[in-house]
Each structure stands twice: as structure tokens, then as C-alpha cells.
Structure 1
Amino acid sequence: MIPGAVVRRELSPAAPAVTEASNRVIAAITDPWDHPRTMVSVALMCEWGASHGIEVETLLRGTRIASGSLNDPEVLVEARQEMAVIRNLVTAIGHRPGLGVELGSLYHLTAYGYLGYLLTASATARDTVERGLHFALLTFAFTTMTARIDSGGRYVLTLEADDVPEDVRGFVLERDTAAVVQIHREIFPGSGRVPLREIRLATGKEGPTGVFADFFQVPVVFGCPCTEVVLDAGYLDEVPPMANTHTAQLLVAQCERIRAERLHHTGVAARVRAHLLDRTSLDLTLEDVALQLHYAPRTLRRHLEHEGTTFRELLDEVRRSVAENLLLDRSMSRHEIARRLGYQDWSSVVRATRRWKRE
């Protein structure tokens, strides 16, 4: 255990609410966590699991993710598919406290693609905070984060996961908290560059290996009203060593493009997409899905049009995504792949694949 990194178990006094006049919000996540994301997070969990004797197949069970797609940079997974992997991992390990911190420490800046490089190139730490929360759709976070200056003049990042299923909530809070700290440490490499003062966790207790103290290296308080990362406010004015205005401008444009694409995958469209992904066959009509999701067909069609898409476009998109996974699975017959995609025969799959390649 690192000297000074004392883990305390008593309850911390309740932090002032973000809405109080004594606090000033500087940034917050406003986008939903239920959005598609790259395969990186799932791959990291599978790699960690394999190193701890957990087979990849165990972690991917019930997710409809093919192991052959784990390293494919083009494949996106739905948030609930990643959550299913988390649930499998937590179950396999046995809900051990500290597991999320161990995994969160593996989420390096490079895991976030363009966003990781944007944060490195940003002009100040404040910019990294504002951009990181604005472009949350480019991360793997399941928590909703709010950054503020508290009444004591400290910079506090609050993480909430009230809408995350309870069986994985503790892991998510630990992982996202550790990932945030890891990001800042990599933007400002070197001992003491990130003035972290305290970690407050809305989870129950310390893990058996002291992983909390070993990783955070500051006091960690358990059983708090909410999860918070506390730093000196002056840190926000620090300039990252690799800051570059021109590069940052280029990367902002790329990140905005990706965010817009991911936002297109939320709302009713996201519900339809998630429902289609969960079916054993994609031989479905809009009327079928409307009935299963308790919409009138006309209402569902209107919602999708309002979100800038159609059922046919969503069905084709899901078929393409599922096909990318199924075609990597050598154990499945052509007949089974065609049936799963909702086609009558293999020739229909071939024609669809050719069309997708042209698009």
C-alpha cells in the first residue's frame, strides 16, 4: 500500500448538491449512454478475462458478439451488448469489489480513438473536461457525469448510475471513475501532475487486494451519497504538454461527426435497433416490431421519421451488423446465417453483402 493512500470506511458528509448556489457547474454529460460504441471495451474485458482464466466464450455468452469481430475497428456494438459482457464478467468473478477499478485502469487514451487524441491536444485541463463530457458518446461510460467547482473551491466530478441495472452498477461506477483518473494521468504524465485529493464512492466496501488505494493513491471513502472525484480547482488551468490548437480543431470536427452519427442511434430508433438485435431471426416487418414494442404501426413510423430514419433503414443496418459477426463464425451453416438475417436463401445474403460493400 502506498503511504498516504489510506482507505477509510466511514461515511463521508454529503457533498453539496450540484443545483445549490454554492456550486458552479462547468460541464455535464447530456447525451444518453444507450448508444453504439466500438468493440474496444469488450475486447479489453475479454483480454483481461483470458489472462485470469475466463474463456472469451463465457464473456460473450448471450451477447450475439462473435469472437472473431473483437479486433475489428469497423464493428460497433450496442450499449446493452457491452453491458451483457460486463454482467458475464462480474458473474464469473463473483461480484468482487475493486474489479471495476482494475478494468478501468486499462482504458488508456488510445482506447477512445479521435477523442483520446483530442483530449491530449486540448489547450487546458478545463478544455479536456468540457470536451470529454461533450463527446461522451465516443467513450464507453455508462455513468452520467457533472463537473463543478464546489463551495470549497475544489474541482469535483460527480458520476451517477441510477439508471444502470443494479447488478452491474457497482462495477460501472468503479470502472468509469478509474477510467477518468487514468485519462487525466495520461494527459499529464509524471508523478503529482494531477492534483487528485479524494475519491468518494457510492459503493459499499474496499476490495480484498487494496486495489483502490494502490490505484488512486489518495484517500478513498466508501458508502457516500454519490461517487465523486475531487481535485484542486487550479488544475483546470494547467496546459497539457502535448497541447496543439491546430490539431485540436481538426479533431473536434472528426469527433462532432462521430457524435452526430451515434446520436442518430438513440431514442425510439435505438429501442427498435436493440429489439432487432435480440431476435433469433430478422424476418420481421414494421407491424411485427410495433406490436412487440407496444406501438401502433403508424406511431412507430412517425417516431422513426422524426428521428431521421425508417424501419427499412434500421432493419438493413442491423442485418449488416449481424452479418459481419455471423460471417466470421465458421461453425454456422449458410442456411442458418440466412435464416438469422431474415432471408429465404443464401443467394439473398450474397446479394445483400455485395450491396453493403458498394455503399
Structure 2
Amino acid sequence: MRLDSPTIPPAVLTGVVEIGQREGCDTAAWFVGTGLEVTQLLTAATMKVSFRQAVDVLRRALDDMPDRSLGMQVGGRDMLLSMGMLGVAMRSCASVAEAMALGLELHEASGSLMDLEVENLDQDVALRMRERYPEPRLLRFLCEEALASTVVFLRSVFGREWSPLRIELAYPPPVYVKQYYSFFRCPIVFSASANRLVVPAAELALPFPTRSESTRAIAVDACRRLLDIGRGGPTITTAVETVLERDLRTGVTMAEVAGHLHVTERTLRRQLTTEGASFSDIRDRVRERRARFLLRESDLAIGNIAQEVGYSDIREFRRAYIRWTGHPPSETRRRGGAPE
């Protein structure tokens, strides 16, 4: 997990800074010690920030503007402001299902600070939002931003009256909870087991009136260029690590990674061999890195951490962890000082 790598387009930070400036906040103070400057953020068209930089700025912004729906304000802006070229690409898809698949693959192009996955819930489908790293102080903001931008996008396609079936949030109601109901216009379950936006499964087949294959191709290419997907990067090994980090929990296969990188599985295997790497070794390295981080920095139970890194059986996870590190996960947890 590369906390300090500048890989994130700063759309979310830019939205927060613009709100802070309108409110008369000393936004320059939010950037002290981060290696960033507020003027640089607002004027550099191609700059990227690291997750750690984004978190530091957002913490200070929330301290200056507490107890308000800041995430909803940022995510609730015009679709082009909140999602950029990714929004253009998704609006040009043929259906909700196609747009959702594209959004899952390229959501970081919008500056997203959450990880996303789709869950099937009987007759419904949920877009589940997961923290990239445990940041309890930012959870509400990050969920609000992701939810609001998703709803704004779908309303831009289906009309202002569209709303989700329901929303589930793993935190208690904020003091401004009425704004949630006013904006989302659907039932909301607080203190839930996960953060989800739920829609009827039948909606996945809904066609987009804004479909355009040519526009989609141009916009997708722009998103890929922004994220450097399949366009070199330092090494193919780094590219594989990046894809695996997004999909660890779902147990993504080598064929699926190759698809994300727009090469055949055979080509990917050959490129990795050229670099003296193997897919299984890279996957183990990414899993170990994520597991160590969660054991040290979160209070998730070890069984839940096993699931987060792609193991359905906690015993299998323990055996793998001992193979990686020489000791069980419980020992890393004790050394890190986190609760058992």
C-alpha cells in the first residue's frame, strides 16, 4: 500500500478548498507540512496527490468546518466537477451495468478516496464503499462524497427524480441528518454493518439515453492516461500491484488483472518473467502488506482481515501469514499495540 505515492487526482481536495475559501477559512494552513500548496492545487491541471497528503488536508478542513455536510457538498456538485472525464465515460455507456463496471475499474480517475465493489443482495444490487485505509475521522465525509457523486451521476442520466432504493451507513446519524433525507430521498439505515447504496437489480439493465461509443472510447482513454493504466509506469510489476490492491478482497485472478491492463494473460506472464517476477509472488506481497497494515492500524478482527485480503478461511490466512512472516498474525497485532 503506497500511502505516499502521488497517484490521486485532487478533485475532492479542490472541491473542499473552494468551499473553504467561500467560507473565509485559512485554507493555506491546511497544507502546511504536506509538501503541497493551495495555489498549486487550484492551478496545476495534471498534478496528483498522495493518500496521506489528502488525508492530512481533509482532517484540517473538517476541523475548520465541523458538523456540516461537507462531503455531500463536494460530491453533490455538477457531475463534471465531481467526476470529470470518468463521468463522461460512464454517461456514454450502454447501461447501468456497463457504467458500474467501468466505474469500478476507473473510479480513482475521479479522485475517489474510497474503494468500491458490487454486492448481490437477492433482488437488489449494492454499491459497497470501503475505506482504503482506516480513517475514522474521515469516514462520514468520504461516504457522503462517494454517495452524493454517485446519485448526482445517475440523476444526470435518468432525471432529477431518480433515487436509490435505500442507503446503509456504518456510522450514527450526524447532527444534520435531515440533509441526508432531503438530498437522497430514500430510506437510510445508520449504524449498519457496511456502507452501501442499494438499487433494484432490474435497474442494471436500464439503457442510457446518453450512450455514445465514440465518446466513451475517448473518455476512457483519457481516464487511463490520467491513471497511467497499461501505459508503462515504472514496471509491469508495479502495474499488477496497483490492480491487485484495488481488488484484493474479491480474489482477482491473473486473467482478470491482464484484462484490466489490456493485455492477454500470456503476454502478462511473459512480461512478468522478463522482470523476474511471478503473479503469485506479487499477490502474496500485496496481501502481506495489506494484512500487516490492518493488523497494526485497525481494530478489525483477524477473521475480517483475512476476508479483506482475499481469504474466506481464517486458517488458510494464518498459514499464509506464517509463511510470509515466520509468525502468526496475532503476534503482529500485539507488536502493533492494536486490540486482539
Q: Return the TM-score normalized by structure 2.
A: 0.62
Residue 159 of structure 1 aligns with an amino acid whose one-letter code is: M
Given that 1:115 and 1:251 are in contact with CA atoms closer than 8 Å, whether structure 2 keeps it comes out as yes
Q: Is 1:217 aligned with 2:185?
A: yes
- 2: distance between equivalents of 1:35 and 1:107? 25
Change (3 A) 1:105 1:195: closer
Question: For each residue in 1:33-79, what CA deviation from the matched residue of structure 2 results, as whole angstroms up to 9, or x when unmatched?
Answer: 97522333222111111222312213323322222221221222222
Q: Residue 85 of structure 1 is aligned with which of 27, 34, 57? A: 57
Q: Is 1:256 aligned with 2:260?
A: no
The equivalences for 1:63-142 within 5 A come to 63-69=34-40, 70-94=42-66, 96=67, 98-106=69-77, 108-142=79-113
1:89 Cα deviation after fit? 0.9
The equivalences for 1:284-295 within 5 A come to none
- 2: distance between equivalents of 1:269 and 1:222? 38
1:191 Cα deviation after fit? 3.3
Greater mean deviation of Cα atoms: 32-41 or 64-73: 32-41
The alignment partner of 2:151 has SS state of helix
1:230 Cα deviation after fit? 0.9
1:241 Cα deviation after fit? 2.1
Q: Residue 197 of structure 1 is aligned with which of 165, 168, 178? A: 165
Question: For each residue in 1:3-54, what CA deviation from the matched residue of structure 2 results, as whole angstroms up to 9, or x when unmatched?
Answer: xxxxxxxxxxxxxxxxxxxxxxxxxxxx999752233322211111122231
Change (3 A) 1:137 1:197: same
- Give the equivalent residue in structure 2 for 1:324: none
1:185 Cα deviation after fit? 1.7
Residue 163 of structure 1 aligns with an amino acid whose one-letter code is: Y
Q: Is 1:181 aligned with 2:151?
A: yes
- Give the equivalent residue in structure 1 for 2:214: 246
- Give the equivalent residue in structure 2 for 1:50: 21
1:209 Cα deviation after fit? 6.0
- Give the equivalent residue in structure 1 for 2:142: 172
RMSD in angstroms over aligned alpha carbons?
3.1
Question: For each residue in 1:73-95, what CA deviation from the matched residue of structure 2 results, as whole angstroms up to 9, or x when unmatched?
Answer: 1222222212211111111123x
- 1: distance between equivalents of 2:48 and 2:157? 26
Question: For each residue in 1:133-187, what CA deviation from the matched residue of structure 2 results, as whole angstroms up to 9, or x when unmatched?
Answer: 1012312222221113311x11211112162322222221222222222222223
Q: Across the two proteins, how many residue pairs are aligned to each other? A: 239
Residue 166 of structure 2 aligns with an amino acid whose one-letter code is: E
Given that 1:40 and 1:71 are in contact with CA atoms closer than 8 Å, whether structure 2 keeps it comes out as no
- 1: distance between equivalents of 2:182 and 2:112? 22
- 2: distance between equivalents of 1:217 and 1:184? 14
The alignment partner of 1:38 has SS state of coil
Residue 45 of structure 1 aligns with an amino acid whose one-letter code is: V
Change (3 A) 1:166 1:47: same
- Give the equivalent residue in structure 1 for 2:250: none
The alignment partner of 1:202 has SS state of coil
- Give the equivalent residue in structure 1 for 2:265: none
Given that 1:158 and 1:226 are in contact with CA atoms closer than 8 Å, whether structure 2 keeps it comes out as yes
Q: Is 1:41 aligned with 2:12?
A: yes
1:109 Cα deviation after fit? 3.0
Given that 1:36 and 1:78 are in contact with CA atoms closer than 8 Å, whether structure 2 keeps it comes out as yes
- Give the equivalent residue in structure 2 for 1:281: none
- 2: distance between equivalents of 1:243 and 1:60? 40
Amino-acid identity (%): 21
Question: For each residue in 1:226-271, what CA deviation from the matched residue of structure 2 results, as whole angstroms up to 9, or x when unmatched?
Answer: 011011222211222221122212333333333335994899989x
- Give the equivalent residue in structure 2 for 1:227: 195
Given that 1:35 and 1:265 are in contact with CA atoms closer than 8 Å, whether structure 2 keeps it comes out as no
**Which one has a larger percent helix, Structure 1 or Structure 2?**
2
* Runs (5+) with no aligned partner, structure 1: 1-30, 271-304, 308-359
Displacement over 4 Å in runs of 4+: 31-35, 265-270
Change (3 A) 1:58 1:268: farther
- 1: distance between equivalents of 2:48 and 2:19? 20
- 1: distance between equivalents of 2:88 and 2:134? 28
Q: Return the TM-score normalized by structure 1.
A: 0.59
